[in-house]
Chains A and B, each alone.
Chain A
């Protein structure tokens, strides 16, 4: 009698103690990578002189880098805000709308990958308390007041007066030259308690926490200046070519790091090769379904970064890279870098030295009908992948 009882309970115990029967593991494959396959494909001809190309890349990078004035403007603002926030962490005083745990700089300004004309620095504020909208508002007011106090003695030039705005991410403080986004988030164990009605969006909170991890990873792994140059170039590409828009800054960071550092010698690849390699990788389907892509180093569970894009976006991104790769191989780097011509080369036919480069069509097809068992092409495609590789 009691035995039977125990058996029933045992069912629960087993669930805890043993993993449910898992048929197989999804093993995505890395796409063909010419740099890694160098042994099999030795260069038969000496590589052509690419100094022109390299120079063009460097020139473009110089164009894209923020000027010293811009740097100073941002730095001034960031320093002030950082001071104010640091004070709030150390001595909150009467400010009790929320408690600050930590203040960190993140983003392109921190990483040194800022692109000129996009003078935005990001600061993440981790709250110990939950990020209610009221708390953020109170924090915004507090920061504004404190900033005012801080700048009392300064002579405020025209255009240097600060604008404060509050949005769903946090506070945005800007003057005519620079913008600092104070992004609010909360400590990790609070995330689950967030209620979209009262608090800021948990997804955004998570993304802010991720931003901290990203900048930390970047500091440790991607401090090489080639990587920063490449990131800047890629950011520029992203802004000019529609197909690359779904690529997030974090993806670009990882992609640039991958292109420069992931080679047999583990030494930084020259910028011209790395730039080409980015296109080769994307064209070979690094960010296509079924590819191992790049695993996010800041998330657990082998998250492939490109899965953040929709299938259609992955397709578009890939085909844009494929077309540009061909343009690049026929000597069209100036167009790609935006030094000449325009971005239509990705979408329209172009002729280079008598070679006709034609654009590609999308391969992605919207699922026409959904039969039962075929819940959404998105899962379907990945699910298929899961079955493929084990």
Chain B
């Protein structure tokens, strides 16, 4: 739509150039008329619908009501029209365009008829008919042949019937403001308009000079050549010269020339006042314009004025009255009818700001309100040594003056008031004086607003396809991030392809919750890197796995043999009981995938960390060795690198006795041989621990015998039976069983929990301060702290570690703290009772320091590792830059590089943890 219009303009422009030569006056009138049209249209419809609006407006123009509407809504309509005109290269062209469109387009007839109708209603043939007659030929306009005569015709009629025209309008639109205004006021307008047309014949310059002249004597003065008199009086500068020589020099002097040029340029006060606010006062005698009453008074008092007065009295020249000529006022009487759209025709010839001025004058009815001086406090009096005030300094405006009058005036002045408004009282009303620039800015703003509005309308109709592109771009980025995360997650902290130790794999990182935090923090990276360091190597895990598995199977054989020997003669291999049967389901999918070769023998040992029962059937309940279960770090999956001791607990049907222990120890080597013919396992009895050990190389499996009966028997003093194994140890073994169960139920499912427990286990081993904290207490602590996160939020490893440190630092373990309730014991006693006050104090102290280290990005010190390289962090830091880098392909390379680096680090494990210990107190 806009296109059409703009497109139309160019055509209009060319068309115009042909017509312009023919009759300017006519064109001007046309333009004025045309501009009025869009103004009316604009009042009703938006710019987009201008043409239809134009047509409809004119169609409707037949009824006076529309005119009335236009008339009343003058100011906005006018403004808009003006803004539009500015948007096109010139108002003139724009007007031409509309005219042209109307003339050549389909609307031409409608327009003409509409207008005719209006005229018909007015019953006036004068201007309108003439105009219509001109209009009807329509297209010939451009040809320019007939037009040459038209200007004369037009102006003729126009001049002849100014009142008629006026009347026509008044009749056609009885409600317009024009009609409401007194005719005396409107008539001069017509006169001005007409004059301008006349002037235009002579040329635009000429018009400018005399166009809006009130026909004052000053114009005559400016035109009159300076006549040398006896006194050598210069009319322009209003000075007398001593002699002809000085007079000539004065005439050639710059001052005079400047003055003359100025007079010529701005001959009329009307034009002069265009750039001023309306309330300027002019001394007619000296031809000096003052900006206010005070300035005028000062001028009248001044020496210059009195000199001129003296001169004039000497010369006998008429002295105009002392009353100032209120320029704003006279001007107002001339052009106070800009509400008529026609006047704008003048606006095309006269520089545009004229219109703005006119508007302003309307607002300002009181040109010189009595302004109260403001900001007395900010005028500093500068005194001479003898205490006399010699000058004043305005601190707001940073200017100084010597005259108290000047000070008064300054305090009333606009500049000072503006400063006061700006610096002291923002509520002070300072009349606006829109400069040319400000006005232009205003126009520009409006134009932009119009464009923006249009743009938004367009957007509402047809959503920009840019949006869609943005959406997909974002989405792609998001997915990339996610993939990236997966890749890093697999390659970094958890080296891919490691067959996880059964049942103790770190809790799988489900992509779901992780998606919300796509980026792992610095702390997370360090925690996970450290975790990867302390996590046992696959080889170690395999070895431990093997020896434990063999021990378990051998124990089963022993159990079978013993049960055969004692009671039943059954020889079929053990079928797993319900417990064992559950295993395939309970194992995590990763295990199932990564260890397919072991799946078949899954039921033959306790690798699921559940009780590996030796019983085959219900009736088998009287078997002495009922089953074996992995406990401790092995079962919980807390084994760390370098761990060589693992624990098993064998459940007996009755109180385990030394005799039973001996029997088992005797039978086991043979059973082990049966499992693995050439093994190097050594079985050693360890009665103190209520069990025995199976060792191979540096690996040790401690097998403890216990029985639930030991617990039930609490009432009876167990000390009587010398044969029974140490009761405390047996109870410990039972507790270990329960802890394992608890761990599997609570900690394994908790996000980040196992990782943090491993990290803390490492801390307890590494830092002596933490050593007194028993593994069980530590596990409880970590689980409780992490599970107590408000809102059940899943913490990232870094956050989880920090939270544990926060808890300890916050005095959880200090004397007077709540204590760690042990859920596996009756009445949940404190699991950390063993700690002395000093140990608690030291633990807290250490955690407090660790917490602050974490907060200040030194988590690597807490973990006892090297700080990770910064590259990744740099990359992460300017994530905003990532978008840009993404577009190039280099980003992907960069990231895969880091991924590889992490991987090699894990594979070779050549990064030795440096000892940056915590303060060990």
Contact = CB atoms under 8 A, between A and B. Distances in A.
A9 B474 contact: no
Contacts of B422: 193
A14 B467 CA distance: 9
Q: Determine chain B's interface SS by DSSP, over half rule.
A: helix
Contacts of B799: 29, 388-389
B810 A129 contact: no
B901 interface: no
Contacts of B879: 23, 387
A389 B521 contact: yes
Contact of B522 (A29, A130, A384): A384
B883 A21 contact: yes
Residue from the set B784, B853, B857 with the largest chain A CB neighbour count within 10 Å: B857
Nearest to B791: A30
A359 to B, nearest CB: 9
A44 B426 contact: no
Contacts of A38: 818
A284 B806 contact: yes
Nearest to A358: B921
A132 to B, nearest CB: 6
B317 interface: no
Nearest to B841: A355
A88 interface: no
Contacts of A45: 819, 830
A53 to B, nearest CB: 11
Contacts of A365: 856, 858
A355 B519 contact: no
Interface string B494-535: 000000000000000000000011110111100000000000
A43 B829 CA distance: 10
A99 interface: yes
B744 to A, nearest CB: 19
Contacts of A288: 851-852, 855
B568 interface: no
B832 to A, nearest CB: 10
A10 B855 contact: no
A333 to B, nearest CB: 11
A56 interface: no
A41 B810 contact: no
Interface string A169-204: 000000000000000000001100101001100000
Contacts of A10: 455, 459, 464, 466
Interface stretch (B695-703, B842-850, B909-917): B842-850
Most buried by A among B819, B830, B841, B858: B841
A326 B845 contact: yes
Contacts of A290: 802, 855
A279 B848 CA distance: 12
B845 A34 contact: no
A190 to B, nearest CB: 6
Nearest to B881: A373
Contact of A281 (B377, B810, B874, B921): B810
Interface residues of B, number: 82
B821 A13 contact: no
Contact of A41 (B788, B809, B876, B919): B788
B451 A383 contact: no
A357 B456 CA distance: 69
A361 B426 contact: no
Contact of A13 (B377, B459, B790, B857): B459
Interface string A348-385: 00000111111011111100000001000000010110
A98 B799 CA distance: 54
Given A6-B458, A388-B521, A356 B838 contact: yes
A276 to B, nearest CB: 8
A155 interface: no
Interface stretch (A73-81, A208-216, A219-227, A317-325): A317-325
Interface string A31-43: 1111011111111
Interface string B812-830: 1011111111000000111
Nearest to A43: B818
Contact of B858 (A189, A283, A363): A363
Given A41-B784, A326-B845, A353-B837, A384 B829 contact: no
A194 to B, nearest CB: 9
B451 A9 contact: yes
Nearest to B850: A363
Contact of B821 (A42, A281, A387): A42
A219 to B, nearest CB: 29
Contacts of B424: 98, 129-130, 132, 135
A238 interface: no
A267 interface: no
B338 interface: no
Contacts of A97: 377
Contacts of A362: 852
A289 interface: yes
B785 interface: yes
A363 B853 contact: yes
B162 to A, nearest CB: 42
B600 interface: no
Contact of B423 (A9, A195, A389): A195
B427 A387 contact: no
A66 interface: no
A21 B466 contact: no
A362 B395 CA distance: 50
Interface string A1-38: 11101100110111000000101100001111110111
B3 interface: yes
B331 to A, nearest CB: 35
A283 B848 contact: yes
Nearest to A3: B3
A56 B853 CA distance: 34
A13 B844 CA distance: 57
Interface in B415-432: 422-427
A24 to B, nearest CB: 7
B849 A330 contact: no
A14 B845 contact: no
A135 B518 CA distance: 56
A41 B377 contact: no
Contacts of A390: 516-519
A29 to B, nearest CB: 6
Given A134-B378, A387-B521, A356 B841 contact: yes
A40 B788 contact: yes
A357 B798 contact: no
Given A44-B830, A326-B845, A373-B877, A363 B855 contact: yes
Interface string B869-894: 00000101111100100000000000
A32 B810 contact: yes
| Most interface-central of A189, A193, A283 (chain B CB within 10 A) | A283
B787 interface: yes
Nearest to A325: B811
B452 interface: yes
A34 B474 contact: no
Nearest to A359: B845
B844 A284 contact: no
B191 interface: no
A243 interface: no
Interface of A: 1-3, 5-6, 9-10, 12-14, 21, 23-24, 29-34, 36-45, 47-48, 97-99, 128-130, 132, 134-135, 138, 189-190, 193, 195, 198-199, 279-281, 283-285, 288-291, 311, 315, 318-319, 322, 325-326, 329-330, 353-358, 360-365, 373, 381, 383-384, 387-390
Given A14-B466, A134-B377, 7 more contacts: A37-B807, A42-B821, A48-B816, A99-B427, A315-B856, A326-B814, A362-B852
13 contacts: A13-B455, A21-B474, A23-B880, A40-B785, A47-B816, A128-B427, A193-B422, A283-B810, A283-B811, A285-B802, A288-B852, A361-B849, A363-B849
The 10 A-B residue pairs with the shortest CB-CB distance in the complex, in nearest-first order: A284-B810, A388-B521, A363-B852, A40-B788, A2-B3, A32-B806, A44-B819, A329-B814, A37-B788, A288-B855
